[in-house]
Amino acid sequence: MSLIKLQIKTGNQKYPIFIGYNILNKLKLILKKNLVNFNKCLVVADKNVPKKLINKILNSLPKKKISVYYFNSSEKNKSQKSINNILSILLSKNFNRNDCVISIGGGITGDVSGFAASMFKRGLKFINIPTTLLSQVDSSIGGKTGINSKYGKNLIGAFYQPSLVISDIIFLKSLPKREIVCGYGEILKHAIIADRKFFSFLDKNGSQVLNLKSPLIEKAIFKSCSIKKKIVEADEKEIGLRKILNFGHTFAHAYEATLGYSKKLNHGEAVILGIKTAAKFSLLNNILDIKEFNLIENHLNKLNLPKNINKFFSIKHLNKILSFMKKDKKNNTHKINLVLLKKIGSPIYKLQFNEKNISLFLKKELI
């Protein structure tokens, strides 16, 4: 599949997303055509990305003053300390607002780099080169940046749109299967909240998408990005509609935080568990009917995706899960906000529930 371009237009900015296979070679040309100019750039590179691919990017950049900061990507390093490290480099090398930060890595690297770029002199240029399936279909689109704290995930951050996003399928070939499953969680979420036809496509081709079969993987990435593009353009700052992107996430973020962001459960796996939990909660509250629920559950079964929270948690975790759900940034009362599902393609986002209701539900799920 040749180079695909998606244009994102938010209230105060527009920027392109390029999707394709082995498009790093065209980086210099893409920068030139899209008028992304800079004198100096700081490349923040995830240590997990193969060196030969990082070098390919460095060799494709305009021969200007390039600094490289190798970042050890983990939820624990999605922290103020990492932000300070990046800001120190930018300050010591006297970057200005016409210079650039380039992120090469997954969602954590992009979130940290983008947040640092938003803070430095109130904002300098930011280019995102996402290298995981999760970041290519989710975190690289929409301008959410941020870090974690001991109080929860992504509670400190800013909306800051990149100047350019380049998603090259070549990076995905170097990822372990578990990382592909991680990205698939967000692809599946996009289908469930916005596009029944896309859900049917995934139901038919899910195993081939997970095996990175071309052109099915490109189609899944493009379709997923297109769904998020429409939602972000309609509601950049998450005032209303964009909240549907949090389907499954109130549960998912609480699951991740309860396990201390450990390797036992990555973000996409938590999202898949959150999708199943939110769908079951929708079913038990007479919002979703059993046939629709079964379509989702059967899809998870067919692809052998994580689906039962009692494989990861027990009753002893209940209070901890609830405490993180109460701290979720979408809550604005003592109740817990949830995005639920009427049917595949039709979410509802203006729902609030008492802690007691959710506690009783989770108790049964944890047995």
Q: How far is CA 360 from CA 75, 131, 284, 357, 363, in A?
A: 30, 40, 12, 5, 5
Selecting among 75, 179, 186, 365, the annotated active-site residue is 186
Yes or no: say if 292 and 344 are a contact pair by the CB < 8 Å rule: yes
Selecting among 122, 150, 291, 334, the annotated active-site residue is 122
Q: Is 122 a catalytic residue?
A: yes
The CA distance from 191 to 201, in Å, is 9
Yes or no: say if 234 and 20 are a contact pair by the CB < 8 Å rule: no
Selecting among 242, 280, 299, 317, the annotated active-site residue is 242
Q: Is 97 a catalytic residue?
A: no
Which conformational region is residue 340 in: left (phi greater than 0), alpha (psi within -120 to 50 degrees), or beta? beta
Selecting among 75, 125, 128, 144, the annotated active-site residue is 144
Q: Which of 257, 232, 252 is nearest to 242 (CA)?
A: 232
Selecting among 228, 229, 280, 299, the annotated active-site residue is 228
Write out the H or E segment, with its range, that includes residue 321: helix 318-326
Selecting among 267, 276, 299, 317, the annotated active-site residue is 267
Strands ordered across the beta sheet of 4-9: 4-9, 14-20, 164-168, 125-130, 100-105, 40-46, 65-71
Q: Is 98 a catalytic residue?
A: no
Selecting among 78, 189, 249, 280, the annotated active-site residue is 249
Q: Which of 243, 252, 268 is nearest to 187 (CA)?
A: 268
The CA distance from 293 to 283, in Å, is 7
What tokens does 260 get? Answer: 């201390």
DSSP state letter for 286:
T
Q: Is 228 a catalytic residue?
A: yes
The CA distance from 182 to 267, in Å, is 7
Total residues found in the chain within this entry:
367
Selecting among 246, 269, 337, 365, the annotated active-site residue is 246
Yes or no: say if 297 and 276 are a contact pair by the CB < 8 Å rule: yes
What tokens does 365 get? Answer: 């799920």
Give 159's strand partners: 144
**Residue 233's CB: how many other CB atoms inside 10 A?**
16
Selecting among 238, 256, 269, 292, the annotated active-site residue is 238
Q: Is 334 a catalytic residue?
A: no
Looking at residue 12, its amino acid is N
Selecting among 125, 229, 253, 280, the annotated active-site residue is 253
DSSP state letter for 219:
H
The CA distance from 28 to 30, in Å, is 6
Q: How far is CA 46 from CA 50, 73, 130, in A?
A: 9, 6, 10
Q: Is 65 a catalytic residue?
A: no
Write out the catalytic residue numbers.
122, 144, 186, 228, 238, 242, 246, 249, 253, 267
